[in-house]
Structure 1
Amino acid sequence: MRKIYLLCFLFILNGLFAQKKEKLYPITAYEKVWQEKNSDSRLKLIKTIWLEDSTFEDPSASIKGVVAFNNVINEFYKKFPDAILTSGPKIVKDNYVTWEWKIVDSKNKLIMGGRDFARLNGKGQVSKIIGFWDKDAALSEADLLKNLEADNLKVVAKYYECLFKTRDFNTMATLIEDGAIYNQAIGLPYGGTFIGFSEWNKMFAKSTEFFDLQIEKEPTYFSDASKNEVIIYFTISCKSKKSGKTMSMPISEHFDLKNGKITAVRPFYYDTKQFAEFLKSKK
């Protein structure tokens, strides 16, 4: 008899778990929606759980409908392209579900955290989401920019070290985004536009045919995290391999970055024409 009771209990328990899992399907899909970074793929997923009268509200937005919800997430990923979303256990009561969540970047630094409340329509769709942000967990925009600025500066500083100090091109390659662009002044004998790190390497190699270089003044760094830009200012001392003469030249280099990698570099010489003539002159 006890065995029969136990089997009945397990049967009922399994049924309850199955019901809960089925009820939570819209929330599982909702979380996948937020994790999908491709707008078109996300929109298709949204349509499976979201109606034109479904609403989303949090401190940043108050919207209704499928396309409007997709646009909210598009704007989110413009600000936080490397965001990773995770969530905690779900609490279910009737057609309501609530859970805590947090968002971190690719280096596991906390961006923000909070709690969502969802109302389901009982037909596998979401009627309403209300999101609350935890102010103690959420970083301010100023803090986010400060962290991004620090990360960008580290990347550029490492690039500078690899290029001018250690000549470690293997490590440098890990700092460069695929298809990154290097715009070198056309007037220089190794000038031009170089796309991709393999082309950068060819340009670096060609430049060594014209001069030996030493750093005369270490760089000063300037950064604008809101634009993902870093600018460095330093002075080089060059010895021409053709004439044997030496010259000092201040240089600034402008870096564009995205997701912690360099996407473009453009150096500016104090006097490009003078420097080009110096490199080409003979004894």
Structure 2
Amino acid sequence: MAQKKDKLYPVTIYEKAWKEKNSEARLKLIKTIWLEDSTFEEPSTSIKGIAAFNNVINEFYKKFPDAVFTFGSKVVKDNYVTWEWKIQDSKNKLIMGGRDFARLNGKGQVSKIIGFWDKDATFSEEDILKNLEADNFKVVAQYFECLFKTRDFNTMATLIEEGAIYNQAEGLPYGGTYKGFNEWTKMYAKSAEFFDLEIEKEPVYFSNAAKNEVIIYFTIKCKAKKSGKTLSMPISEHFDLKDRKITAIRPFYFDTKQFAEFLKSRK
């Protein structure tokens, strides 16, 4: 039993590496069992070396940040080990399942791993797009909450890709193109000089997950600070996303000219 446990040590560390979400901590684990000529193959990739294997796991967690791994019992024959595994999300919904075969070098290290996917267990392309659509909705909904309700700019900053573009209509007093979240906050501050607003109708969400786009439609009720007048205005906002972060926003006002005149008008 002790000999079998020792033989399985590199597989145990391999599984721990897949569960470790911190890249640096994971790399330390990988280095204890992986060589520069060790290989990893599965339907989506074929790599060799320590850094390349760590990057495979990094890329996986970018797509499935809340993934939870479960590994089955091991079958050992000479320097070969095989076992089943499955991956679920935080709500126990199956992401993927399959079987791995490992060849060990007898010195506590992995020579090669080949992963086979269970096509009946994996998500279909339609399911993957549905999950991506749900994730994109969450990002946009959280952005909306931070901007219009909680004013939580610290959380909002985590939702925005570095260098993201915000395009405001040129006819507005705060119109123009703003690049990066710091510039966005300046635009928010400038717009607040002209009006106070409340959400009159909560947003309706539309999405094209294949293009990483989300569109929301809602209505604001504004009070102009110069005139004290009020105006309701439907707005749609177009969001582009990448890796579950916002890369661009373009708002469309139902009547941009009317809205601009409303903001500039005096008593």
TM-score grouping bracket, smaller chain normalisation: 0.7 to 0.9
Match of 2:137 in 1: 153
**Amino acid of the residue matched to residue 125 of structure 1?**
Q
- What runs of 5+ residues in structure 2 fail to find an aligned partner? none
Displacement of 1:74: 3.8
Displacement of 1:44: 4.3
Match of 2:217 in 1: 233
Q: Which digits, 9 at most, give the CA deviation of each residue in 1:235-271, with x for residues without a partner? A: 43434354244444342224466887x7577452435
Displacement of 1:35: 2.8
Displacement of 1:96: 2.0
Further displaced range: 134-143 or 40-49: 40-49
Match of 2:195 in 1: 210
Pair 1:98 & 2:82 matched: yes
Displacement of 1:21: 2.2
Larger Rg: 1
- With over 3 angstroms needed to count, the CA separation of the structure-2 counterparts of 1:28 and 1:256, relative to structure 1, is farther
Native 8 Å contact 1:188 1:272 kept in 2: no
Match of 1:24 in 2: 8
Identity %: 68
- With over 3 angstroms needed to count, the CA separation of the structure-2 counterparts of 1:218 and 1:212, relative to structure 1, is closer
How far apart, CA to CA, are the structure 2 residues paired with 1:64 and 1:178? 33
Displacement of 1:72: 3.2
How far apart, CA to CA, are the structure 1 residues paired with 2:221 and 2:87? 47
- The 5 Å alignment of 1:41-190 reads 41-154=25-138, 156-157=140-141, 167=149, 169=150, 176=156, 178=158, 180=160, 183=166, 185=168, 187-188=172-173
- With over 3 angstroms needed to count, the CA separation of the structure-2 counterparts of 1:230 and 1:36, relative to structure 1, is same
Displacement of 1:134: 1.4
How far apart, CA to CA, are the structure 2 residues paired with 1:163 and 1:40? 34
Displacement of 1:116: 1.0
Native 8 Å contact 1:102 1:110 kept in 2: yes
Displacement of 1:122: 1.0
How far apart, CA to CA, are the structure 1 residues paired with 2:63 and 2:127? 13
- The 5 Å alignment of 1:203-282 reads 203=188, 207=192, 210-213=195-198, 215=200, 219-226=203-210, 228-255=212-239, 266=249, 268-270=251-253, 272=256, 274-282=258-266
Displacement of 1:146: 0.7
Native 8 Å contact 1:56 1:63 kept in 2: yes
Q: Which digits, 9 at most, give the CA deviation of each residue in 1:50-84, with x for residues without a partner? A: 23443322222234443443343344334334433
Further displaced range: 178-187 or 23-32: 178-187
Native 8 Å contact 2:143 2:159 kept in 1: no
3-state SS of paired residue (1:127): strand
**Amino acid of the residue matched to residue 125 of structure 2?**
E
Match of 1:10 in 2: none
Further displaced range: 186-195 or 76-85: 186-195
User: TM-score w.r.t. structure 1 length?
Assistant: 0.69
How far apart, CA to CA, are the structure 1 residues paired with 2:180 and 2:41? 46
3-state SS of paired residue (1:47): helix
Q: Which digits, 9 at most, give the CA deviation of each residue in 1:15-60, with x for residues without a partner? A: x2x3222111100111123234455554443332223443322222
How far apart, CA to CA, are the structure 2 residues paired with 1:222 and 1:179? 19
- With over 3 angstroms needed to count, the CA separation of the structure-2 counterparts of 1:80 and 1:226, relative to structure 1, is farther
3-state SS of paired residue (1:48): helix
- What runs of 5+ residues in structure 1 fail to find an aligned partner? 1-15
How far apart, CA to CA, are the structure 1 residues paired with 2:217 and 2:226? 27
Native 8 Å contact 2:147 2:153 kept in 1: no
Native 8 Å contact 2:237 2:250 kept in 1: yes
How far apart, CA to CA, are the structure 1 residues paired with 2:89 and 2:243? 10
User: TM-score w.r.t. structure 2 length?
Assistant: 0.72
How far apart, CA to CA, are the structure 2 residues paired with 1:158 and 1:34? 29
How far apart, CA to CA, are the structure 2 residues paired with 1:42 and 1:150? 29
- With over 3 angstroms needed to count, the CA separation of the structure-2 counterparts of 1:161 and 1:126, relative to structure 1, is closer
